[in-house]
Structure 1
Amino acid sequence: MTHPGTGRRRGGRRRDELEPPSTGAAAQDAEPDAEEVARSIALRQLAAAPRSRAQLEAAMAKRDVPEDVAARVLDRFTEVGLIDDTAYAEMLVRTRHAERGLARRALAQELRRKGIEPEVAAGALEQVDEDDERAAARRLVEKKARATRGLDPQVRRRRLAGMLARKGFPGGVAMRAIDEVLAEDGVDPMAGPGDWEALD
């Protein structure tokens, strides 16, 4: 039985009251806010380790954050100092050079992989000059040379040269460091210029 003017049966409810709304504010509340998602991604990433703007942008893209939303959040983080590509690039150059002995060539490649703009990278790389590279190359050769004592001199040279090449050292810097260290070990210079061309 229905009550006049109500469209309801006794003890029942109207069908449209029982079904969840498909549109409107309630439906929108069920969806995560894109800007909040972007902020959460950025904060999680930065809490784990320093990041460049490009790295954070890539992380947001993986979560399908719209580009305009990502840009707005990243701009805000930059304004408040949570993102600073210049400081990040300078920190990366200092630590990678000091801890891993990377030369400028390898450091430049790493900065590119992190999405650092060329002019920012160039400024950060100014922290490492030719004297720094020569000193770093010699330290690396001294350490590696100790582990190769007793091997054939040619084998020692090839291993030392390969190690320095992987760290981005130019052939001239590598040759001098290897010759100096091996000469102190009593090994006469044996490699001609042609042996080092592959390192440049």
Structure 2
Amino acid sequence: MIDAKDFLASRPPVLDGVGTPEPDVAPAFDEPHGSGAMARDRHGMCRGGRARVGGGADRRAVGRRSRGGFGPVTLAEDPQDVDSCREAALRLLDAAPRSSGALRDRLCDKGYDADVADAVVTRLTEVRLLDDESYAQSVVRYCAGRMMGARGTMMELSRKGVPREIARRAVAQADETGVFEDAAWELGRRYARKTEGMDPDKRRQRFWSAGGRKGHDPETLRRVAGELL
């Protein structure tokens, strides 16, 4: 009989949909943190360079497409304009909840200097318009609804730009209250129905594959499989 731990050892978690831009309609559907974004270079500025456009004005190069691929990004007229950056941030937050990391990346995408984006993000956090703790909890709930495990949820939080310590606390709290255990059992019941009548080893393999992709731990998957499959 194949063991769950051995089976999963060669199959690291691969979350469904990771790396694929999704609509900005829910906390877990905002654009991937760092995916397609201009990361900061070693000097703390966003990558991408600048181009001289008309009258020697110093502006970011134009023509880049948005992360979702649905048109060019509208770049900031003045990369150091704090008021304009703040308005852009508020529009982004109005469209969808975001983490501080994801918002900072989007502002850099729009052509604002990294220090300006940092200042705006810090201020929005101070006045509670940006709340990583609350956002992390919403992502955990979303992941639980997708029957994801602790590892998978941690990966999703990281992908969305949630600070690591906040992500750890959110995952630990959910783990303590049995959120991921319940998710594993729900996943097991679903695969028990889907694979009814199949060879027992194949049933377990399919369940372990699904559980591994969703980031559940082998011991939990072994217990669920032993009971349901």
TM-score by length of 1: 0.70
> 1:36: how far off?
3.6
Select 2:201's aligned residue among 129, 154, 159.
154
* Larger Rg over CA atoms: 1
Greater RCO, CA 8 A, separation 6+: 2
Question: How does 1:80-95 map onto structure 2 within 5 Å?
Answer: 80-95=127-142
- Where 2:170 maps in the other structure, the secondary structure is helix
Question: How does 1:109-188 map onto structure 2 within 5 Å?
Answer: 109-129=155-175, 131-182=178-229
- 1:64 corresponds to: 111
- Runs of at least 5 residues in structure 1 that lack an aligned partner in the other structure: 1-21, 24-30, 183-200
Select 2:149's aligned residue among 103, 127, 130.
103
**Percent sequence identity over aligned pairs:** 38
The structure richer in helix per residue is 1
Alignment CA distance shift 1:126-1:66 (3 Å): same
Native 8 Å contact 2:148 2:215 kept in 1:
yes
Over residues 149-187 of structure 1, what are the superposed CA-to-partner deviations in whole Å (9 max), with x where a residue is unaligned?
1222221111111011111111111011011012xxxxx
> 1:41: how far off?
2.5
- Runs of at least 5 residues in structure 2 that lack an aligned partner in the other structure: 1-54, 57-76
> 1:129: how far off?
2.1
- Where 1:135 maps in the other structure, the secondary structure is helix
Native 8 Å contact 1:108 1:125 kept in 2:
yes
> 1:135: how far off?
2.4
Give the letter aligned to residue 120 of structure 1.
I
Distance 1:75 1:69 in 2: 10
Distance 1:162 1:176 in 2: 15
- Where 2:173 maps in the other structure, the secondary structure is coil
Distance 2:214 2:158 in 1: 16
- 1:77 corresponds to: 124
> 1:80: how far off?
1.6
Native 8 Å contact 2:151 2:216 kept in 1:
yes
RMSD: 2.0
Number of corresponding residues:
153
> 1:114: how far off?
1.7
